[in-house]
Amino acid sequence: MSLPNLVRVAPGALVVGKPLPWTVFDSEGKVLLRQGYVIQTESQLEQLFERGLFEPRKRDRKEEPEAFDDSRARNPFTDYPTLLRTLETTLAAITSQEDSALKRLLGLSRLVERICREAPDPCLALVHLYSVEPTAYEQTLFYAIICHFVATEMGLDERRISVLVAAALTANIALLRFLDKLNASPRSLSEEQRNVIHLHPQRSVEALKKAGINNGLLLDIILQHHERSDGSGYPNGLAGVDILPEAQVLSYAEHYIAMITRRAYRDRRSVSDAQKAILEQSRRDARPHIGKALLDALTPYPPGCLVRLANNEVAVVTRRPVRLTGPFVQAIIGAKGDRYPGSFQRDCSELEFNIRAVEMPEIMPSMDFGLLWGFQ
């Protein structure tokens, strides 16, 4: 990689305890830290700001790809920075009412769907590996990924899945400039902030219409994604089966992601606790099969989560169960707490490697995602 393409890491771009979203280089263009490395301390973070370089985002939205039509096999980990950058430019194009807005949204939606189809387990792993303290754009991407898997599990047709994914990517466009600030604030919401939140479904729909995006199903999903089965939601107090099933899928996706992410005003919950809450919610729902589809798609130990095995190793889940085998994990920490120099695949259907508990360390261990998931 040539040095002109690299810029210094900006303060605020990285977080202690969260895996690096991209590879960091030194001043000679050599790899300093790979994607997946976890910064352990504030002093380490400061050193990285002084020494680290990374490939910059493109300033001109015209330079961004509007669709991803190449035939390369997709690697969600190397695609991750591009997905986030393209999401940002797509939503900016919609807000600015650019002529390319619809084309960009369709291209991004197709790419998200393609990655989910071609690399499902690594794609789900993205959600759980980066859920510690996600940005607003990361949250948005996670909603779309979860929606794809739930809708597929439900057997929705391809057209409806595509519209749902596009809705997940745009449903909170009216909230984007507030989300990071809200998540970082330990204070309770002000009346003005509550008003912004309650109005965002209508305002997001208005933004899409002004950009020439008028798909009726997409707009209805966005308008209804905060309605609740018992009629307590907003903006119209719809209840039961009057709410579109796609809107409920998006609602479940947002709820799940909210529970497993850390906010300034509360800690995150384990995937096990979050799944219990989803199960309880589904039992009160007019369509309980939607919550069940989410749980079935994720499985009890979704890819990307850390677990402790019967032999006391700590491992990261890499693949969901297949028939009577799995889930499959890569053991990264030994029974005595020593970090393995590499990793060891374990089939958790074997007694010695049964999963005993979900691990939630304060700071994630560093991992080479490409290696763990078998990407060259």
Q: Choose from 59-73, 82-96, 255-269 the range with maximum mean pLDDT.
A: 82-96
pLDDT band at 29 (very low <50, low <70, confident <90, very high): confident
Minimal CA–CA distance to 124: which of 108, 148, 106? Answer: 148
The helix/strand/coil state of 328 is strand
The pLDDT tens digits of the residues spanning 98-150 come to 999 999 999 999 999 999 999 999 999 999 999 988 889 999 999 999 999 99
Q: Are 53 and 24 in contact (CB under 8 A)?
A: yes
pLDDT bin (cut points 50, 70, 90) of residue 86 is very high
Q: Residue 135: what are its φ and ψ, rounded to 5°? A: -75, 170
Cβ atoms within 10 Å, residue 181: 10
CA distance 97 to 238: 30
> What residues contact 207, with CB distance under 8 A and at least 6 apart?
94, 95, 173, 174
Owner of token pair 């209508």: 202
Detail the DSSP E strand segments found in 269-336: 306-309, 314-319, 328-333
More confident residue, 184 or 338: 338
Q: Report the helix count and the strand count for the chain, using DSSP H and E.
A: 13, 9
Regarding beta strands 314-319 and 31-33, do their DSSP bridges make them parallel or antiparallel, or are they unpaired? unpaired
Using one digit for the tens of pLDDT, what is the confidence trace for 275-325? 999 999 999 999 999 999 999 999 999 999 999 999 999 999 999 999 999
Domains of the chain: 3-54 (no CATH), 61-298 (1.10.3210.10), 306-372 (no CATH)
4: confidence class by pLDDT, cuts 50, 70, 90: low
